[in-house]
Amino acid sequence: MAWQARLKAIHAEPSPVVRNYLITSAYDDLSTQTASVLGGVDANWLTFGKWASFTAGKFIRGEGAPINWGADKVADGNLAIIGDIAPQFVRFLELTDSDSALDLATLVAADEHLGGNPIVCEAFCSYAQALDAQALDAQSPEGDAGTAQVMLRGNLLVAHHEQALADDFIDEAMPLGGLFGIVTTKFVTLNIPEGELDPCDQVPLPRYLAGEQWPAALNQISDPRLVALARSYGQEWQETQTSGAANWEVFNDRMGYIAMFFRAYQRDPALQEPVPAANG
């Protein structure tokens, strides 16, 4: 099924539970298609997105919290985000097949779908730069650190855009804010292959790294834009002690955790596995 028809079918599905399965499956497939272009060593945003959608499914089904807090808003946010981001990735993949003499980043910047929003444009220009970095890294004594950092930048910028979109849905899912937002954060989890992560805690040592915090290619962050992004969320890349999100309702709390989580798990091969929700 073509992506336009697939997204139309997702929007037409009346059951939030079934719709979540369709969304998670769509993320899974689109992540694989994107990895066929950008490579599968570094997760792309969709690879993380499919696990976030899988996690959202628990709340949509009424699992993971003592009462059914905001399940309808989680479902609405899940739908709004894929409706926003999937067409952008589809368009990016179309541009990678272009026979234009222009380089991919220039095509992205000039594209009416990707170039109009500064954050979206920068994100997909970063992915375009990752393709160039892959060729350079093969000849570089630093190995593939350049590719890993540019991919992390692209992933984080997509997350920044999507979390800004999610803000209203999160506020409505935690309608009282303040202390209530802090309390409900205690029931927010992230489910990935190695288990359930608690965003209230600092990002843990990933199992796939056997005792290390970061993959070798991301051990040092030198990209100025990545440094600036982390600082805008109140984080420093050298630190993990403050990566826990005290209040998931607060944008910078969420993004600070997401930044450190992406860095730690970007090269976890288990993230590339099919998501259970996608298997129905």
pLDDT tens column, 28-52: 999 999 999 999 899 999 999 999 9
**What is the token pair recorded at 192?**
């990935």
pLDDT tens column, 190-235: 889 999 998 888 899 999 999 999 999 999 999 999 999 999 999 9
Ordered DSSP codes for 127-179: HHHHHHHHHHHTT-TTTTHHHHHHHHHHHHHHHHHHHHHHHHHHHHHSTT-HH
C-alpha to C-alpha distance for 180 and 76, rounded to whole angstroms: 21
> What is the per-residue pLDDT for 1?
59
Average pLDDT of the residues in 13-30: 95
pLDDT tens column, 224-272: 999 999 999 999 998 766 777 777 778 998 899 999 999 999 999 999 9
**What is the token pair recorded at 78?**
């899940």
pLDDT for residue 143 is more than 90: no
pLDDT for residue 74 is more than 90: no
pLDDT for residue 68 is more than 80: no
* Beta bridge partners of residue 197, listed in sequence order: 190
> What is the per-residue pLDDT for 73?
79
Average pLDDT of the residues in 93-114: 89
Domain boundaries, given as residue ranges, for the chain: 3-279
**What is the token pair recorded at 102?**
């222009």
The pTM of the whole model exceeds 0.85? yes
Closest alpha carbon to 68 in 77, 58, 78, 76: 58
pLDDT for residue 137 is more than 90: no
pLDDT for residue 177 is more than 80: no
Cα dihedral: 29, 145, 161, 278 (round 10): 20
> What is the per-residue pLDDT for 81?
92
CB under 8 Å, gap of 24 or more: what pairs does 209-217 form? 209/264, 213/240, 213/264, 214/263, 214/264, 215/148, 215/264, 215/266, 215/267, 216/143, 217/143, 217/144, 217/145, 217/147, 217/148, 217/149, 217/267
